[in-house]
Amino acid sequence: MLDKLRPFAYWPAILWGIVLAILMLLPQDAFPESKLLSYDKLAHITVFAIFSILVLIGYQLKGKLSQQRTKHRNYTLTICLVYGIILESLQQFVPGRMSDVYDLLANFTGALLGVIVFNIFIKNKLAIHKLIL
Listed in sequence order, the residues at least 6 apart from 8 whose beta carbon sits closer than 8 Å to its beta carbon are: none
- For the entire predicted model, the pTM comes to 0.77
Residue in 113, 101, 107 with CA at minimum distance from that of residue 48: 107
Cα–Cα distances in Å, from 43 out to 3, 29, 39, 103? 34, 17, 6, 10
More confident residue, 123 or 92: 92
Has residue 34 been placed in a domain? no
Give the confidence band of 119 by pLDDT, cuts at 50, 70, 90: confident
Within a domain: residue 57? yes
Q: Can you give the residue range of the structural domain that contains 119?
A: 2-26+39-132
Residue type at position 46: T
Residue 33 lies in a domain: no
- Per-residue pLDDT of 24-60, as tens digits, reads 887 766 555 544 444 778 889 999 999 999 999 888 8
Check: CB of residue 45 under 8 Å from CB of residue 106: yes
Whether 88 is in a domain gets the answer: yes
Q: CA-CA distance, 32 to 130, in Å (whole number)? A: 35
Residue 66 scores a pLDDT above 70: no
Task: Say whether pLDDT at 4 is over 70.
Answer: no
Overall number of domains in the chain: 1
Per mean pLDDT, which range of 18-22, 67-71, 90-94 is the poorest? 67-71
